């Protein structure tokens, strides 16, 4: 104990106290009308959310595109979780969360799609084809310029299933359609992210306020309190996984990591040769123009 530098224990105690104090935060009221998404012409980002709450957790890039460049952001809820008693309440919570962020929201079914997993795809082709058919018309209609979906090893069955579902729907689109595709992560980190998106404290506060709308989920597990720490760790990892090994870490506190590809000619192609940082106040998001 004696060799611990002066102040470390105090700093750690304060850090834990701040994190625990978040348990007393009140759930934010319904979003004001001005915060709601407005459909219209211009670029469109679609998020394929395996569960209600993923739109908040991985939505940093879409949120910045909405606020800084006026993109339309549409969340498509793939499943509403596996607990039947929670599926309708989770749909209600999701609507409130999307309103907080200004995202439009599409439900594919009142209780969400069921059994969107790699296993279901293998053993029940008819069910899987019905899931593809439920999603495909929305992608055809919206023709997003950017599609956000989980990476292929995101270590949760519905996340991996959503990845497979999204790519299968893309494969049905006309050959000339060439959107950006951003793989997100939550349950498992990506081996090779190539984009680190800085998240401002104001945007992160709104993401947490939206995440708190998922009352039933944070009641059993207050994971909204660890979101800042997760984003801090993304900066640590991204400094050398998006940047070069041994490179200087960027001078910001919070970030979300993605692997960005381009869908061209019916296959995924590399988006760029080296990793990129999208810092606030710099032309980092211009890459999607």
Q: Do residues 107 and 91 lie in contact, with contact meaning Cβ atoms separated by under 8 Å?
A: yes
Q: What are the CA-CA distances from residue 197 to residues 70, 157, 182, 239, 278 (Å)?
A: 17, 26, 12, 11, 5
Where helices occur in 190-241 by DSSP H, the ranges are 201-211, 215-220, 227-241
**pLDDT, tens digit, 9 for 90 and up, residues 47-66:** 999 999 999 999 999 999 99
Q: Are strands 72-77 and 180-184 parallel, antiparallel or unpaired?
A: unpaired
Rounded-to-integer distance, Cα 287 and Cα 278, Å: 9
Q: In whole angstroms, give the CA distance from residue 185 to residue 169.
A: 20
Using the predicted structure, report yes or no on whether residue 139 has a pLDDT greater than 90: yes
pLDDT in tens, 188-202: 999 899 999 999 999
d(C-alpha 280, C-alpha 198), whole Å: 6
pLDDT of residue 34 exceeding 50, the answer is no
Nearest to 102 by CA among 128, 127, 71: 71
Q: What pLDDT is recorded for position 30?
A: 63
Is the model's pLDDT at 210 over the cut of 70? yes
Q: Is the pLDDT of residue 168 over 70?
A: yes
Give the three-class secondary structure for 32.
Answer: coil
């Amino acid at each position: 104990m004696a060799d611990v530098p002066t102040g470390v224990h105090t700093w750690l105690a304060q850090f834990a106290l701040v994190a625990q104090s978040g348990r007393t935060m009140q759930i934010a009221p319904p979003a004001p009308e001005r915060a709601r998404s407005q459909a219209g012409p211009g670029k469109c980002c679609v998020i394929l959310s395996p569960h209600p709450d993923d739109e908040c957790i991985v939505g940093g890039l879409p949120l910045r595109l909405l606020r800084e460049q006026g993109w339309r952001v549409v969340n498509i809820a793939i499943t509403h979780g596996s607990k039947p008693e929670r599926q309708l309440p989770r749909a209600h919570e999701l609507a409130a969360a999307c309103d907080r962020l200004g995202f439009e929201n599409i439900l594919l079914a009142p209780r969400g799609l069921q059994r969107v997993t790699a296993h279901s795809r293998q053993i029940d082709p008819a069910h899987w084809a019905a899931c593809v058919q439920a999603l495909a018309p929305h992608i055809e209609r919206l023709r997003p310029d950017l599609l956000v979906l989980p990476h292929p090893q995101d270590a949760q069955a519905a996340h991996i299933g959503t990845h497979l579902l999204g790519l299968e729907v893309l494969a049905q689109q006309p050959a000339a359609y060439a959107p950006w595709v951003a793989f997100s992560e939550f349950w498992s980190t990506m081996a090779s992210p190539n984009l680190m998106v800085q998240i401002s404290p104001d945007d992160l506060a709104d993401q947490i306020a939206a995440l708190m709308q998922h009352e039933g989920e944070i009641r059993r597990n207050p994971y909204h309190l660890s979101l800042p720490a997760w984003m801090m760790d993304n900066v640590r990892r991204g400094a050398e996984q998006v940047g070069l090994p041994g490179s200087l870490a960027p001078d910001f506190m919070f970030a979300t990591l993605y692997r960005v590809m381009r869908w061209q000619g019916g296959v995924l192609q590399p988006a760029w040769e080296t990793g990129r940082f999208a810092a606030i106040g710099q032309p980092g998001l211009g890459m999607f123009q």
